[in-house]
Amino acid sequence: MSDPKTEADVIVVSNRLPVDHDENAEGGWRRSPGGLVSALEPVLQKTGGAWVGWPGTAGLELDPFEFDGMALVPVTLSADDVELYYEGFSNDTIWPLYHDVISPPAYHREWWEAYVRVNERFARAAASVAAPGALVWVQDYQLQLVPRMLRELRPDVVIGYFHHIPFPAYGLYAQLPWRKQVLAGLLGADVIGFQRVQDAGNFTNAVRRQLGLETKAGAIRVTAEDGSVRTAVARAYPISIDTEAYDELARRPEVQARAKEIRESLGDPQTVLFGVDRLDYTKGIGHRLKAYGELLEENRLEVEDVTLVQVASPSRERVAAYMQLRDEIELTVGRINGDYDTVGHTAIRYLHHSYPREEMVALYLAADVMLVTALRDGMNLVAKEYVASRVDSRGVLVLSEFTGAADELSQAVKVNPHDIDGLKDAIMTAIDMQPAEQARRMRALRRRVRERDVADWSRRFLADLHAVRGDDA
């Protein structure tokens, strides 16, 4: 590891750095899994760019270091910051509020103060490494105040912000005691990106009603304190995945052999249903289990013929709503298995782990039906990963209409997860779907996910930032 350049022309700012601690890895860090990292890493490598973020451990103080051709600029969070800014305001105020109050948001002034303080720290870190006129791209709801703070520190830079989660309807957003400050924070950006057209619309609506600003087709006239006027643009840039990487893994003989082995170890049921989610109340895991349990109860499904594999990866485990969710889900899984398992067959294979990408692709290949039943989801990349992995054009995607992905993946079997009878019928439709119909739909889905991958997403966003700076196309 060596010291990075202190001046970068392209800077990404996100709550987490794109690396995870790993004692066995060279230098002690390994690249985080996920599409965002794979899309942005090449851009930063090419431009000698920097990534500003939290290294993921409370109290850890680190100097900037180089990793894989990127300069990583760590921001320290104390144990208090983690509790008040990350677990509190980010994940117990903004997260539930922006996901349509599926869980009640908590509003605490102390959390807000920590959010302001930590956002300031991120803004200062970004300001300190930005070359004159740099492009700075801020990511997600943990950092909504950074665009404005950064603009005040560095009026010369071009600022983008991308919101990975939903932006709620005005009637809900209006609950937020700091609703004006958050909007003003975001309006510090030149380009404000959302997953769906509807999210961008909800944002401009809130800006009109709370701040009384003029908006026209996503363009917002922002007047600064000194009276100068600039335009911020809010629009949709639906995020995607590294499609090619999933496709390539799914074609590997060893991954296909692993898929076969997974089915065998489940007792070779006729049908494997699959769900994989962070263990989060937005994902509708309980609704999925309820529908499945009723199908078993009504003998529309038999435990000898079907198994549901549910991967629930651990997430935000110190936040009370997540602890409660875990208890509820594990109680339900235990009940369903207790009622329907036989010595040789299990109704639900529940796995509270996360898995490397190879294993995920093998699981996708082993699954006849993929269940995505989120009650609200900015995009849902699992739906896209499943499609990208089905190189055999088989398998059926059951997809909640409350995900951003539903706007794009029109050939999926769409469901309203709140309608348990409708969800049960959709699961049966998927199980009974003929191979020719599966292939017809899957090919159309695959075309979409191939054409719009995450590299395309970042190109589009960065092209708009370059245009703000006046660079040649």
Which residues contact ligand G6P by CB under 6 A? 16, 140, 164-165, 315-316
Contact (Cβ atoms closer than 8 angstroms) between residue 369 and residue 271 = yes
Q: Which two tokens stand for residue 29?
A: 């860090």
CB atoms within 10 A of CB 339: 12
Specify the pairing of strand 413-415 against strand 229-236.
unpaired
Q: In this complex, which beta carbon is closest to ligand G6P, that of residue 164 or of residue 376?
A: 164
Q: How far is the CB of 427 from ligand G6P (least distance, A)?
A: 26
Burial of 473 (0-12, 13-18, 19+ CB in 10 A): exposed
Q: In this complex, which beta carbon is closest to ligand G6P, that of residue 316 or of residue 446?
A: 316
Q: In this complex, which beta carbon is closest to ligand G6P, that of residue 85 or of residue 364?
A: 85
Q: In this complex, which beta carbon is closest to ligand G6P, that of residue 34 or of residue 48?
A: 34
**Counts of helices then strands in the chain (DSSP H, E):** 18, 18
- Which H helix or E strand runs over 382? helix 381-389
From CA 10, how far away is CA 15, in angstroms rounded? 17
DSSP states of 316-369: -TTSHHHHHHHHHHHHHHHHHHHHH--SS--SEEEE-S---HHHHHHHHHH-SE
- Which residue in the shown chain puts its C-beta closest to ligand G6P? 164
Contact (Cβ atoms closer than 8 angstroms) between residue 216 and residue 187 = no
Q: In this complex, which beta carbon is closest to ligand G6P, that of residue 205 or of residue 315?
A: 315
Contact (Cβ atoms closer than 8 angstroms) between residue 398 and residue 368 = no
Q: How far is the CB of 444 from ligand G6P (least distance, A)?
A: 26
Report the Cα–Cα distance between both ends of the chain, in Å, rounded: 35
Q: How far is the CB of 261 from ligand G6P (least distance, A)?
A: 30
Residues 6 or more apart in contact with residue 458 via CB below 8 angstroms? 39, 40, 43
Q: Which residue has the tokens 């935000």?
A: 316
Q: How far is the CB of 164 from ligand G6P (least distance, A)?
A: 4
Q: How far is the CB of 165 from ligand G6P (least distance, A)?
A: 5
Q: In this complex, which beta carbon is closest to ligand G6P, that of residue 218 or of residue 404?
A: 404
Q: How far is the CB of 39 from ligand G6P (least distance, A)?
A: 14
Q: In this complex, which beta carbon is closest to ligand G6P, that of residue 165 or of residue 189?
A: 165
Q: In this complex, which beta carbon is closest to ligand G6P, that of residue 137 or of residue 340?
A: 137
Q: In this complex, which beta carbon is closest to ligand G6P, that of residue 9 or of residue 277?
A: 277
Burial of 153 (0-12, 13-18, 19+ CB in 10 A): middle
Q: How far is the CB of 143 from ligand G6P (least distance, A)?
A: 9
Contact (Cβ atoms closer than 8 angstroms) between residue 66 and residue 2 = yes
Q: How far is the CB of 338 from ligand G6P (least distance, A)?
A: 31
28: left (phi over 0), alpha (psi -120 to 50) or beta: left
According to DSSP, residue 56 is labeled S
- Which H helix or E strand runs over 139? strand 130-139
Q: In this complex, which beta carbon is closest to ligand G6P, that of residue 164 or of residue 452?
A: 164
Q: In this complex, which beta carbon is closest to ligand G6P, that of residue 90 or of residue 389?
A: 90
Q: How far is the CB of 88 from ligand G6P (least distance, A)?
A: 12
Specify the pairing of strand 219-223 against strand 215-216.
antiparallel
Contact (Cβ atoms closer than 8 angstroms) between residue 80 and residue 47 = no
Q: How far is the CB of 347 from ligand G6P (least distance, A)?
A: 29
According to DSSP, residue 372 is labeled E
From CA 57, how far away is CA 21, in angstroms rounded? 9
Q: How far is the CB of 140 from ligand G6P (least distance, A)?
A: 4
